[in-house]
């Protein structure tokens, strides 16, 4: 707790953070004085992408995990008692006057630029990010697309980009990305920024920080040649112009590692073993024949070879010398157990439990249950992290949609199904706990007593079920909620609609069998 308080206190201080610890040793001969360039491992990324494309042991768990993370869908939450509406001056007429959460969800439904096409749902963008992080590149990146790259008045979309095309610019010796408001005159760069290769003339040096089209300092440069002066062939993006998710990055590193990285060699070896098995199978199916002929005439021997066809039982070769033909059959190596172990080894690198992939291993039911709980936590963490990345973009989009004088509420993306108004249908509702709670109240009230005598219905509705007691009790039939327990037909009907079965029998709950 004290550590958390210390962190909060540090973040609350006035001024900007000034880290001193370095991520690399000072190089007195470095050509860059105050800025470093960091690049992803492009060669490794090429290998990982190829393995993902060609090896189902990499591709299937990556796709399964991606699908599971995004399965609930997404929604937008707006903080506040009243949800504001989109300005009547907003450029999109279809969204004018709409509630902000509905408008943001509608925008996300077509904000993705994926596979060369506009109008994709946000889930298609997130799909690329997860696959890049887990299976292909270790780092997922997207560009924030504006209506005008200079003015940047409106955010129009989100587009995935390949991290291997990007070079990151950081403070010298520290893997800290340049910020949009960093300038060459800042104290951090008082030695000047000069990137010149030996033997190059001074007009080929870079004596300014990389700058975006909007005039901000860039931290990402796409297709950076690192030799000549800044030119139009390079795409420069500031931190506000891109999103980056680094999976399993080492301490101080900018770029991450996919799950593929730790098992790449073994996964590639398994593919080679399968190729060897195919070759062995061919050798078994087509035997190798050796013919010894009792003649010194090379032409005669060649003539026999050309006409020799052991696969044709009707083929007869007539020669005037002895021929001894021997068939050598191939064999299939027994590597089943070895392959199984290696397959399990590769699959263990991925967050997906083996039972989710369909691999026929020795699966214990108890282990499966434990895996399921851990897996659900892993999925929840990924959903939270992805939502946090997009929430910043949503907040900026909310500011665009509202009037200039309007109070801007906090908005957030949630990767989860929209909660039902009926608490019994919500994912977080614990049916067994509710039944046990109501049964306990009934037992405490005594024979012939009512839970209402112990627990007022208003408190039950507000605290336990999360409903508006005034709204519920004020409506028709509100006075009849005294028997709101597991025996109430309305409770049983709602339970059955939500779970497809009746709630546990009260007698079983009392007996400890539920």
Tens-digit pLDDT profile for residues 29-52: 444 446 788 999 999 999 999 999
Beta-strand relationship, 235-237 and 220-222? antiparallel
Candidate ranges 235-239, 290-294, 416-420, 465-469; pick with highest mean pLDDT: 235-239
- Say yes or no to pLDDT of 511 above 60: no
User: Among residues 234, 250, 64, which one has the least CA distance to residue 165?
Assistant: 234
User: Among residues 236, 214, 237, which one has the least CA distance to residue 225?
Assistant: 236
- Say yes or no to pLDDT of 220 above 60: yes
- Say yes or no to pLDDT of 481 above 70: no
- Say yes or no to pLDDT of 318 above 70: no
Question: Hey, how many other C-beta atoms are within 10 angstroms of the C-beta on 30?
Answer: 13
Ramachandran category for residue 130: left, alpha or beta (phi over 0 → left; psi -120 to 50 → alpha): alpha
**Mean pLDDT, residues 222-226:** 82
**Mean pLDDT, residues 378-396:** 96
**Mean pLDDT, residues 455-469:** 69
Q: How far apart are CA 223 and CA 237, in angstroms?
A: 12
Apex CA 489: angle with CA 486 and CA 494, to 5°? 80
**Mean pLDDT, residues 218-241:** 83
Strand segments, DSSP code E, in 147-252 are 155-161, 166-171, 220-222, 235-237, 242-246
* Model pLDDT, residue 24: 67
Least confident of 212-216, 267-271, 373-377, 469-473: 469-473
- Say yes or no to pLDDT of 11 above 60: no
Please give the structure tokens belonging to residue 115. Answer: 């596979």
Top pLDDT among 204 and 401 is at 401
**Mean pLDDT, residues 464-490:** 59
Candidate ranges 50-54, 319-323, 457-461, 474-478; pick with highest mean pLDDT: 50-54
Q: How far apart are CA 351 and CA 348, in angstroms?
A: 8
- Say yes or no to pLDDT of 203 above 70: no
* Model pLDDT, residue 508: 56
* Model pLDDT, residue 420: 56
Candidate ranges 33-47, 303-317, 477-491; pick with highest mean pLDDT: 33-47
Q: How confident is the model at residue 240 (pLDDT cuts 50, 70, 90)?
A: very high
* Model pLDDT, residue 506: 57
User: Among residues 378, 475, 464, 399, which one has the least CA distance to residue 429?
Assistant: 464
- Say yes or no to pLDDT of 395 above 90: yes
Cβ atoms 215, 238 nearer than 8 A: no
Please give the structure tokens belonging to residue 251. Answer: 């301490």
Candidate ranges 59-63, 168-172, 445-449; pick with highest mean pLDDT: 59-63
CA distances from 381 to 142, 219, 377, 388, 415 (A): 20, 27, 6, 11, 11
pTM of the model: 0.72
Least confident of 68-72, 261-265, 336-340: 336-340
Compute the mean pLDDT over every residue in the chain, rounded to the nearest whole number. 79
Helices (H), 354-430: 354-357, 365-401
* Model pLDDT, residue 433: 73
Top pLDDT among 279 and 117 is at 117
Please give the structure tokens belonging to residue 127. Answer: 């799909």
User: Among residues 237, 236, 234, 257, which one has the least CA distance to residue 245?
Assistant: 257
**Mean pLDDT, residues 387-414:** 96
Least confident of 225-239, 244-258, 375-389: 225-239
Per-residue pLDDT of 143-201, as tens digits, reads 999 999 999 999 999 999 999 999 999 988 889 999 999 876 654 554 445 444 444 44
Top pLDDT among 324 and 422 is at 324
């Amino acid at each position: 707790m004290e550590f958390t308080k210390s962190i909060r206190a540090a973040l609350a201080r006035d001024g900007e953070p000034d880290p001193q610890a370095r991520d690399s040793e000072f190089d007195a001969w470095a050509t860059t004085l105050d800025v470093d360039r960091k690049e992803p491992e492009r060669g490794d990324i090429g290998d990982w992408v190829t393995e993902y494309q060609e090896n189902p042991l990499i591709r299937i768990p990556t796709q399964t995990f991606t699908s599971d993370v995004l399965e609930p869908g997404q929604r937008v939450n707006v903080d506040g008692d009243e949800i504001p509406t989109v300005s009547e001056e907003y450029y999109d007429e279809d969204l004018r006057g709409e509630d902000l959460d509905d408008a943001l969800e509608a925008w996300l439904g077509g904000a993705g630029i994926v596979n060369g096409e506009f109008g994709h749902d946000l889930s298609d963008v997130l799909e690329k990010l997860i696959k890049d992080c887990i299976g292909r590149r270790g780092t997922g990146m997207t560009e924030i697309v504006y209506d005008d790259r200079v003015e940047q008045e409106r955010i129009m979309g989100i587009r995935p980009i390949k991290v291997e095309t990007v070079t990151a610019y950081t403070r010298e010796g520290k893997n800290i990305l340049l910020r949009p408001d960093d300038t060459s005159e800042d104290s951090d760069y008082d030695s000047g920024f000069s990137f010149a290769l030996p033997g190059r003339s001074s007009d080929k040096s870079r004596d300014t920080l990389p700058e975006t089209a909007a005039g901000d300092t860039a931290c990402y440069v796409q297709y950076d040649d690192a030799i000549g002066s800044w030119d139009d062939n390079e795409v420069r993006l500031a931190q506000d112009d891109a999103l980056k998710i680094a999976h399993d990055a080492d301490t101080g590193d900018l770029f991450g590692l996919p799950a593929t990285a730790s098992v790449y060699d073994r996964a590639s070896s398994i593919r080679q073993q399968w190729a060897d098995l195919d070759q062995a199978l061919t050798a078994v199916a087509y035997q190798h024949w050796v013919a010894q002929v009792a003649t010194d005439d090379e032409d005669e021997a060649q003539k026999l070879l050309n006409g020799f066809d052991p696969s044709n039982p009707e083929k007869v070769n007539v020669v005037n010398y002895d021929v001894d033909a021997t068939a050598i059959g191939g064999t299939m190596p027994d590597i089943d157990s070895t392959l199984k172990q290696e397959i399990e080894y590769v699959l263990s690198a991925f967050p997906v439990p083996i039972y989710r992939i369909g691999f026929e291993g020795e699966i214990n039911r108890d282990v499966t249950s434990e895996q399921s709980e851990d897996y659900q936590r892993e999925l929840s963490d990924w959903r939270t992290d992805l939502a946090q990345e997009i929430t910043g973009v949503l907040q900026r989009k909310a500011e665009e949609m509202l009037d200039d004088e309007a109070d801007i509420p906090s908005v957030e993306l949630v990767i989860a199904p929209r909660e039902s108004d009926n608490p019994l249908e919500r994912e977080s509702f614990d049916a067994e706990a509710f039944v046990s709670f109501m049964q306990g109240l009934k037992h405490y009230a005594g024979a012939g007593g009512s839970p209402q005598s112990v627990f007022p219905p208003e408190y039950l509705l507000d605290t336990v079920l999360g409903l508006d007691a005034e709204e519920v009790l004020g409506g028709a039939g509100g006075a009849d909620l005294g028997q709101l327990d597991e025996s109430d037909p309305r409770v049983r009907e709602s339970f059955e609609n939500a779970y497809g079965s009746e709630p546990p029998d009260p007698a079983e709950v009392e007996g400890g069998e539920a």
